[in-house]
Structure 1
Amino acid sequence: MKHVLKNFWYQSLFQLTKIMMPIITVPIVSKALGPSGLGIFNYTNSIAQYFVLVASLGITMYGNREIALAYNRKENISKVFWEICLLKAILTTITLLVYFLVISFLGNSSYFYIQSLTILAVMFDISWFFMGIEDFRKTSMINLAIQFITFIFIICFIKDSSDTTLYVLLQSLGTFFSQLLTWFFIRKHINFRKVLLVDSFRHIHGSFEFFIPQVAILLYTNLNKTLLGIFIGSTAVGYYTNSLTINTVFITIITTVDMVLLPHMSGLYAKGNVKKMVNIIDKTLHLQLYFSVPAMFGMLTVYDKLVPWFFGKEFLFINKVIPLFSILIVVIPLGMSISRQYLIPIGKVKTYNKSVLIGAVINILCNIILLPLIGFFGVIFSNILAEIFVTMVRTKSFLKQTTFRFKKRKIWIIFSSAIIMWLVTRMVTKDMSPTFVTNLIQVSLAVPIYFGLTTLSGYNPILNSWKELKEKK
């Protein structure tokens, strides 16, 4: 468990940096490049990302699981590693050839050629291997270092719209080197060996199962932005994106433990220890709710005092949107945990795919119905409903297949404490001005209220874990 906690720390640090860097750089880059320069980068990158998806073919999740299973069964992981690497090399090469053919018919060709580095990076991506052997330190540290170097270069060299090409190059090189540098650490774990093409191709079916939900996810996450841009305008896309961004910070941190536990759970399943898997999930899901529920009510507490100074007065409209999206802080992590800690490790990929496809279909149907009726908010509700159904399908399957049950008393303590925290903090700070200091006061009030109430009510997993560790010593 100590190893898992260490991996959780590294992954949390990486994910938090991954969120914070764009928040810091976006204002700088926007002022330097202007709408045109920034638009060129986002447009060319969006096209490249479709090809990145095809070149990857779901191998990140599939490779993670396969390496974890082989590693825990004491099988030859070198053979599995090189088989998957050969498959990735073939897929990436074919994808790049198609990409170059497609961009020959498009404008901005120089930018598209630079963006090809992000596709080439897929060939060298072996993060799935290190996840499979539960070594998150190396990939996290490399990514952090590359992000920091890229950030410094952007501050130093991106000054005006004439630097657009350099900006595209910096971002593409950052992606490429973050994958390439991980190869320096592979020799310790892997021996070179020749593999047969037929053995590499046997991984296509398994990885394709993970590819289908990625396509569906891309469909129902990008579709909302596309529809808003077409039918309402780019300003609406800005409102939508920023409303999601502020909630995504919490979602990313809360779900970090899932990627850390995926190989650990795969290892337990390989040993036939399903009972221990369910026991771990019981603890992690309730622990997750212990943080996600107050995070949701915390967002409902601070949002209107946060938006004016954080995003600027031109984004005041999102005060109407953030409260609606806040429910996703609870819904999305719950669904992701069940899929990454149970469905994927035990090979229930069809159930995982089913949930994502249902989400995509619901999102499309709701948009068709609601967008003409209530416009912008139709897209918001479509997204929320899609995420709720995705989580419902996964939860239903999990409850049906295991003995796990949510502890009603714990859920009651979490929600009642969070609601009281929200009401008291809102009441005390309602007349304060929207500033950073006000948000600091709100957090300083809310946190001790919530932790105090849950402790007095008899459920504080952090305190309980600390007591258990102390007793063991």
Structure 2
Amino acid sequence: MRNVARNFIYQIIFQVMKIIVPIITIPIVSKALGPSGVGLYNYTNSIAQYFVLVASLGVAMYGNRAIALAYNRDENISILFLELFFFKAIFTLVVLFVYLITVSFFENRFILYVQGITILAVLFDISWFFMGIEDFKKTSICNVLVQSITFTAIILLVKDRSDLIIYTVIQATGLLASQMFVWFFIKQHIVFEKISLSNIFKHLKGSVEFFLPEVAIVLYTNLNKTVLGVVLGSAAVGYYTNSVTINTVFITVITTLDMVLLPHMSSLFAKDNTERIIELMEKTLHLQLFFSIPIMFGMLTVYDKLIPWFFGDQFLFMNYIVPFFSILIVIIPLGSSLATQYLIPIGQVNKYNRSVTIGAGINMLGNIILLPFFGFFGAVFSNILAEFFVTFVRLKSFLKQTEFKFNLKKIISFTLSAFTMMIITRIVSANMPSTIITNCIQLVIAVSIYILLTSILKVNPLIEMVQGYLQENKQQD
């Protein structure tokens, strides 16, 4: 577990950067490019992501687990790595060629050509290998370095709507650079050996098992941007994307532990220690809910004071969207944990596939039924319904197979404390202006109330962790 804690710290450093960078760059980009510019970037990116999906072919998740299992069984990971890399490289080059021909017929072809760099980045992506051997330090350092450079470039170069191409180049090349830098560390772990072509394609079946759910995931997370771009225009995509992004910033941090635990859980399964997996999940899931529930209510507390100064007056329509998406701050991390901490490590990819397939189906059906009646909000409701059913299917399967039980007292206490926090904070700050100072005041009030109430109700895991740490040190002395 000491290795897990260290990896978690490295990932936290990276995720903190992923919070800080958007917090500073989102308002800059939103005010410079406007709803239509932000929308056009995300619309063209959504098209590129379909090709990124095919180029990846599920290797990220499949490779992570395969390397983790081989590493813990002392098998030859060099040959496995080379087979997986060349397998993915072949698909990436073919897909990139098809993409460049396809987008030549699109109206915004130049931006789409630049977005193609994100497909090229798939070729150099070997983060799955380092995750598999539970070495998050190198990928985190590379990502933080590139994030810093990207962050600086956006601040210096993105000034108005005409800089959309520059912004796209910065984002795409930043992603490519972050993947390429990691290669400097691969020789420490890999011996380059000759491999046979036939062995490369033996991974097709395993990767496809992970590819199919990724197709479904893209359909229920990416499809809405494409549909909105086609039906309502780029401005609608801008409102939608920024509304999702402001919640995704927090979702990303909450789900950090999942990616760290995937190889660890896989190694436990390799050692036939499923009971230990469930024991760990009893701690991690409740700790996650301790944070995700108040963050959801926190978003409902600050959104109307945040949007005007953060995004600018052009994005005030987001005040009607963000409250709906806030529920995803609880739903998505919970579903992610069930998949990456249990279903995938123990090899139940079929159940994982089933959940995302249902989600994709609901999202597509929702768009067909709701978009004509509710317009823009039809896409919003479709996305929420899809995420809800994905998590519901995973949760049902997980509870059916294990002896795991949620601590309802804790969850109810978290919810009541967070709800009370929201009500009191909104009342206190009702007449304050929409400024960063107001949001800071709201944050201090809200956090203080939540910590106080959960401590009084004796459900604050942070206090338990501190007490356990002090008791452990006392015993050592």
Q: Same fold (TM over 0.5)?
A: yes
Q: Report if aligned partners of 2:125, 2:180 keep a CA contact under 8 Å in 1.
A: yes
Identify which range, 369-378 or 66-75, moves more after superposition: 369-378
Aligned-pair CA distance for 1:25: 3.5
Structure 1 residue 391 corresponds to structure 2 residue 400? no
Structure 1 residue 133 corresponds to structure 2 residue 136? no
Q: Which has the higher contact order (CA 8 A, sep 6+)?
A: 2
Q: Report if aligned partners of 1:127, 1:139 keep a CA contact under 8 Å in 2.
A: yes
Cα distance per residue 1:1-50 (max 9 Å; x no partner): 23212222222332342354345335545676788987775565444332
Change in Cα spacing, 1:65 to 1:107, as seen in structure 2 (3 Å) is same
Partners in 1 of 2:411 and 2:356 — Cα distance? 26
Cα distance per residue 1:59-90 (max 9 Å; x no partner): 11111111111111111111211111121121
Identify which range, 188-197 or 233-242, moves more after superposition: 233-242
Q: Report if aligned partners of 2:42, 2:238 keep a CA contact under 8 Å in 1.
A: no
Q: How does 1:307-326 map to 2 (within 5 A)?
A: 307-326=307-326
Equivalent position of 1:147 in the other structure: 147
Partners in 2 of 1:39 and 1:428 — Cα distance? 35
Change in Cα spacing, 1:329 to 1:36, as seen in structure 2 (3 Å) is closer
Partners in 1 of 2:173 and 2:35 — Cα distance? 22
Which residue identity is paired with 1:119?
I
Equivalent position of 1:454 in the other structure: 454
Q: Report if aligned partners of 2:40, 2:234 keep a CA contact under 8 Å in 1.
A: no
Identify which range, 32-41 or 281-290, moves more after superposition: 32-41
Q: How does 1:84-123 map to 2 (within 5 A)?
A: 84-106=84-106, 113-123=113-123
Partners in 2 of 1:378 and 1:112 — Cα distance? 27
Q: Report if aligned partners of 1:65, 1:132 keep a CA contact under 8 Å in 2.
A: yes
Q: How does 1:50-449 map to 2 (within 5 A)?
A: 50-106=50-106, 113-157=113-157, 167-449=167-449
Q: CA RMSD in A?
A: 2.4
Aligned-pair CA distance for 1:242: 2.0
Partners in 1 of 2:353 and 2:229 — Cα distance? 28
Which residue identity is paired with 2:415?
F
Cα distance per residue 1:265-295 (max 9 Å; x no partner): 0000000000000000110000000111111
Which residue identity is paired with 1:372?
P
Partners in 1 of 2:161 and 2:268 — Cα distance? 53
Gaps of 5+ in 1: none
SS at 2:345 equivalent: coil
Identify which range, 116-125 or 227-236, moves more after superposition: 227-236
Partners in 2 of 1:35 and 1:280 — Cα distance? 43
Equivalent position of 2:48 in the other structure: 48
Aligned-pair CA distance for 1:367: 2.2
Change in Cα spacing, 1:33 to 1:324, as seen in structure 2 (3 Å) is closer
SS at 1:186 equivalent: helix
Partners in 1 of 2:198 and 2:416 — Cα distance? 57
Cα distance per residue 1:200-242 (max 9 Å; x no partner): 2111111111111211121122222233334444333222222
Identify which range, 78-87 or 158-167, moves more after superposition: 158-167
Identity of aligned residues (%): 61
Partners in 2 of 1:183 and 1:126 — Cα distance? 8
Partners in 1 of 2:233 and 2:160 — Cα distance? 26
Aligned-pair CA distance for 1:165: 5.6
Which residue identity is paired with 1:72?
N
**TM-score scaled by length of structure 2:** 0.92
Partners in 2 of 1:423 and 1:287 — Cα distance? 23
Structure 1 residue 13 corresponds to structure 2 residue 17? no
Change in Cα spacing, 1:180 to 1:229, as seen in structure 2 (3 Å) is closer
Partners in 2 of 1:157 and 1:140 — Cα distance? 25
Which residue identity is paired with 1:393?
V
Q: Report if aligned partners of 1:16, 1:249 keep a CA contact under 8 Å in 2.
A: no
Identify which range, 19-28 or 317-326, moves more after superposition: 19-28
Q: Report if aligned partners of 2:36, 2:238 keep a CA contact under 8 Å in 1.
A: no
Aligned-pair CA distance for 1:339: 0.3
**TM-score scaled by length of structure 1:** 0.93
Q: Report if aligned partners of 2:31, 2:311 keep a CA contact under 8 Å in 1.
A: no
